[in-house]
Amino acid sequence: MFTKKLDTYYLNLVCWVIKMNSDALVDPKLPAGKDVLANTEFLKIRTNLVIVGLDMATEIKRNVKTLILMYQTVGKMPNKTRLHDIVRSIEMLKAIELEFRKKRYLIN
């Protein structure tokens, strides 16, 4: 169950990274005040990408934290497959952090 959910997170992460690296975060070269609708749409896209990234990171973090806490409560060590899933989750969180760090100036 956790592995399938993790695969879904991974696919969503790849789509999000592609959108973050597209022209969606590049400022439009429009004269100020001329096309307010285009500027508004640009800000909506930028804001939605930031929100999706934060939501994705929060969801991944919560699920892996719950998994780790469940293993701690039971007092067992996770098997090899589960450890691989935990490492994958951490790598996905690092990828999200890296995207935000790279795009910090564009987002601001």
pLDDT digits (tens, 9 = 90+) for 22-37: 876 666 565 555 666 6
Whether 1 is in a domain gets the answer no
- Tell me the average pLDDT of the chain: 86
The dihedral over CA atoms of 56, 102, 10, 88, expressed in degrees to the nearest 10, equals -100
Q: Is the pLDDT of residue 47 over 90?
A: no
Q: Which amino acid is at 90?
A: I
Distance separating alpha carbons of residues 88 and 108, to the nearest angstrom = 29
Q: Are 49 and 19 in contact (CB under 8 A)?
A: yes
Residue 74 lies in a domain: yes
Q: Which domain covers residue 66, as residue numbers?
A: 38-108
Residue 103 belongs to some domain of the structure: yes
Give CA–CA dist 48/77, Å, rounded. 38
Residue with tokens 């098997």: 79
pLDDT in tens, 69-95: 999 999 999 999 899 999 999 999 999
How large a percentage of the chain has pLDDT more than 90?
Answer: 58
Alpha-carbon span 52 to 65, nearest angstrom: 20
Domain contains 106: yes
The answer to whether residue 53 is domain-embedded is yes
Q: State the pTM of this model.
A: 0.80
Nearest CA to 15 among 99, 108, 106? Answer: 99
pLDDT, residue 32, reads 57
Is there a domain that residue 98 lies in? yes
Residue 7 lies in a domain: no
Number of domains in the chain: 1
In a domain? residue 25: no
